[in-house]
């Protein structure tokens, strides 16, 4: 069985082609681009909100993208249980639109951080991470606003509901402040909504899924999604 993926293209998206390439050419899935002015999700099984700088990230990252026409359809789709996966800017758009809790603020050290980091899948119960429980993966990050923040009450609730998917860690899976590249609370690199159908992460699995690029750990995340969606 093949799934149908829709990669949303906002003005300023710059990881849309990477995502499309991995899904279509490496994983051999039916994949279409969805323009931000579209309203039809074309019966896609999974919607990808890719990385980039949608609408120049003016006001706040993702703040204008959340108001684009396609997002009304994406929010409806998510509320009905559809799978939505936001990567980097896509994660920021998901928090802005209220589909994921918390927000992403400027990196603690004020720098735009662009490097390979390690994340550990701390949750083996989601379809995105079921095949990866406790695994440590090398994935690139490239962001200026990746510092995950939420108030204490929300943090308690996402911990209680087992919504945290990935934490920044060492290559051996040790989670500590020294492995935290941006100041994220509790080293959070990715999480999901309470219902387990909306996912967001700052690292870029689509940039580490091609042997030609010398790194393939990201592919394991897409493969987990494929395997567990079908099951």
Partner 1 sequence: MYQAKVIIKRKKSILDPQGKAAEHGAVLLGFKNITNVRIDKQVEFLVNVSDLETANQEVSEFCVKLLSNPTMEDFEINLEKINEA
Q: Which residues bind partner 1 (CB under 8 A)?
A: 59-60, 63-64, 67, 95-96, 102-103, 105-110, 149-151, 154, 183
Nearer to partner 1, 23 or 64 (CB): 64
Q: Give min distance, CB of 155 to partner 1, in A.
A: 11
Q: Give min distance, CB of 14 to partner 1, in A.
A: 23
Nearer to partner 1, 25 or 111 (CB): 111
Give Cα 73 distance to the centre of its chain: 18
Give Cα 123 distance to the centre of its chain: 15
Nearer to partner 1, 151 or 171 (CB): 151
Residues 15 and 207: their CA atoms lie apart, in Å, by 8
201 contacts: CB under 8 Å, gap ≥ 6:
86, 87, 88, 91, 119, 165, 166, 189, 190, 191
Residues 207 and 142: their CA atoms lie apart, in Å, by 10
Nearer to partner 1, 109 or 227 (CB): 109
Least Cα distance to 118 among 193, 223, 15, 218 occurs for 218
Q: Give min distance, CB of 93 to partner 1, in A.
A: 12
Active-site annotation, residues: 88, 204, 206
Residues 80 and 168: their CA atoms lie apart, in Å, by 31
Q: Give min distance, CB of 221 to partner 1, in A.
A: 26
């Amino acid at each position: 069985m093949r799934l149908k993926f829709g990669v949303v293209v906002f003005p300023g998206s710059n990881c849309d082609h990477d995502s499309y390439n991995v899904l279509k050419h490496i994983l051999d899935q039916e994949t279409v681009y969805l323009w931000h002015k579209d309203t039809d999700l074309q019966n896609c099984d999974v919607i990808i909100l890719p990385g980039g700088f949608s609408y120049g990230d003016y006001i706040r990252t993702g703040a204008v993208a959340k108001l684009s026409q396609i997002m009304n359809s994406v929010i409806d789709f998510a509320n009905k249980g559809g799978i939505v996966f936001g990567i980097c800017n896509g994660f920021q758009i998901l928090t802005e639109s209220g589909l994921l809790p918390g927000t992403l603020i400027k990196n603690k050290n004020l720098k735009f951080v662009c490097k390979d980091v390690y994340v550990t899948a701390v949750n083996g119960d989601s379809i995105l991470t079921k095949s990866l429980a406790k695994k440590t993966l090398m994935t690139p990050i490239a962001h200026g606003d990746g510092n995950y923040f939420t108030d204490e009450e929300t943090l308690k609730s996402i911990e209680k509901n087992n919504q945290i998917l990935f934490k920044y860690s060492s290559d051996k899976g040790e989670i500590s402040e020294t492995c935290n590249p941006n100041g994220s609370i509790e080293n959070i690199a990715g999480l999901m909504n309470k219902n387990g159908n909306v996912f967001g992460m700052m690292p870029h699995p689509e940039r580490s899924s091609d042997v030609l690029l010398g790194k393939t750990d990201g592919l394991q995340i897409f493969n987990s999604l494929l395997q567990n969606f079908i099951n």
